[in-house]
Every structure is written in C-alpha cells, then in structure tokens.
Amino acid sequence: MKPVRWGILGAANFAKEQMAPAIHAAKGAELAALATSSPEKAAGFLAFCPGLKIHSTYEALLADPTIDAVYVPLPNHLHVEWTLKALTAGKHVLTEKPIALQASEIDQIIAARDASGLLAAEAYMIVHHPQWQLAKKWLEAGEIGTLRHVDAAFTYCLTDMENIRNRPEAGGGSLRDIGVYTFGSARFVTASEPVDIAARLILENGVDTFAQVSGIMDGPHGRFTYESITSMRLYNRQVVTFQGDKGMIRLDGGPFNANYNDIAEIELHQNGNKVITERFPTANHYVLQVEAFGRSVREGVAYPCPLEFIRGTQAMIDTVFKVGVEITL
C-alpha cells in the first residue's frame, strides 16, 4: 500500500527528537518534507533523514502536492490556525496537544474535518500504547471489581522562564501541557466524564504552575471519585491508579513518557497480595500513533482517538479554569 507522505510545520525540538524519528520509523509512513527558514534547525532532521525536502515557509509545504499529511508541533496558540490551514490545503493533519485552547475551538476543526473528508487528530499518543489499552481491558473485565477511585499525578520542574510553557500568550501552563494526560487517561480507560469538579491553582506570571483537581466522574462503571495533580515546579513524578473494591491497576515509572524515564510497566493488584506485572520495553507510542493515523488514511480504519474525545478533555480543562480557586502557599 502506498505510504503516507508526511511534512512537518516547524523545526521544533520535540519534533526533531521524537515525532520526526517516529514518522521516519513507522510502517506505511514516509517523512518527506520540513518547513523551516533555519538551515541550522533543518540540519538536525537531515542528519537522520538526508532525503528530506526543506521548504522555507509553512505555506510552501502546504502547497506541495506530494505531501499527504502534515504534523503541526507549533506553539499552542497557533494550533487551531494551522490545523485549519492544513485541512483547507487538502492535507490530513496531526496536531500536537492541545489542539486548541478552548473546547469551542475544536468544533470548527471538527466541522472542517467533516467538510473536507480528511483526517484531523490531536497527537494524544498514550492511547496507542499497549499499557493503556491493557488498563482499559483489565477494568472492563472486572479485574479490580467495582471502580471506586482514580488518581493521577504528572509533575516536572521547569526553571527556564523563557520556555513557551511559562508564557501565557503562548497558551502555557501545566493544565494545557500535561493536564491533558491526567484528565485524558482517566477518561480513556474508564469511558467516563466529570459531573462535579473543584480545583486549586497556583498562578505565576499568568500561567498555572500547579493544579490540584478533585471531583466525581460517571460512566459505564458507575460513579467514582477522581483526583489529579499537575505541576511545572515539582520534581518529576508520573503515576496513575485505578482503585476498585477488589483490586487496583497502577501505572508507574513514566506512563505518559513510556520508556523515557523507565520501562513502561503496568501492575494489577488483587486480593491475597496477588500482583501481575506487564512490561513493554520496546513499544513506542509515537510510532504506534503514526501507524494508526496511516491506517485511517489509507484503509479507512476508525481512528482510535477522534477529536470528539479530545474535545471532552479540553472541556474538562475549561471547567477547571472556570471553577478553580487561586491559592498561595
């Protein structure tokens, strides 16, 4: 089957280090073009993909008739604009998270997607990883009994104040950067939505550097309590637990950055001190994401993480900003 030919808008470090190599390695994909006006930045991509075509502008890449799909790793506040431009140019588009800064903005992307018949998606890679799919399978199989509580934490310490995550005009803050993981992972595994939310936020220079969220979620597994902590000022920590009345599913060691800090691992704890551990040392969720995207484009397979799901997570973030109480420690 003909591979999907990819172009990348902008030579972001994350694109160079993660997504461009993933596109280059994925089955059914070909990394074909990059848009950047910087020869120095282009050099990092050409080092592992020497045949890459370099366009000096984003518009030139979108006008390239040989490109089927584009990946958008631009700063958060530019995501909606260039996602829509890519669709208008007739390109399938995978945009880095968050694809929008408000849930309502995603509606226009969905409308453009439907009108064009093209695939538009947010690069929410974790749902493609087997550890998260196994968590969902275990929960649905009743391995932990009745679900009672979910808690998630994602923290790291960012001291570079010039980083776009520390800039409000660029859509910075912990919730938009990593809240999509603590919220979205709970929604994905449980297929549930929040019915009550409370939050405490610490703001610095107009961005949330800490968010403590609690609430109640409801779905096919009934109602359960939920807690989340995100921060850009704490030591690295990533952990998610799903607790039932007969067991617990725990993802630790970097479940949102699988095999980066530690080997991807998931544990099933059950009565009688029984623990089942599954490890995934070779699974690359970025590669799996690109391959899933390609199957949807070439074979018409339903994309595992549609924009409608992404909108739900953004709506949850919107609510936290609305109800959150600013605190000072």
Pairwise CA distance, residues 177 & 44, whole Å:
25
φ, ψ for residue 242 (rounded to 5)?
-120, 110
Residues of the chain by 3-state class (helix, strand, coil), percent to 5: 35, 35, 30
Question: What number of CA atoms fall less than 13 Å from residue 329's CA on the CB side?
Answer: 10
Pairwise CA distance, residues 99 & 89, whole Å:
18
Catalytic residue among 16, 85, 91, 97: 97
Pairwise CA distance, residues 42 & 10, whole Å:
9
3-state secondary structure of 53: strand
Q: Which amino acid is at 297?
A: V
Active site residue 97: yes
2 C-beta neighbours (distance < 10 Å), count: 8
- To the nearest 10°, the Cα dihedral for 199, 107, 89, 44? 10
Task: Write down how long the chain is.
Answer: 329
Question: What number of CA atoms fall less than 13 Å from residue 165's CA on the CB side?
Answer: 18
**Residue 228 is inside which H or E element, if any?**
strand 222-231
* Catalytic positions: 97
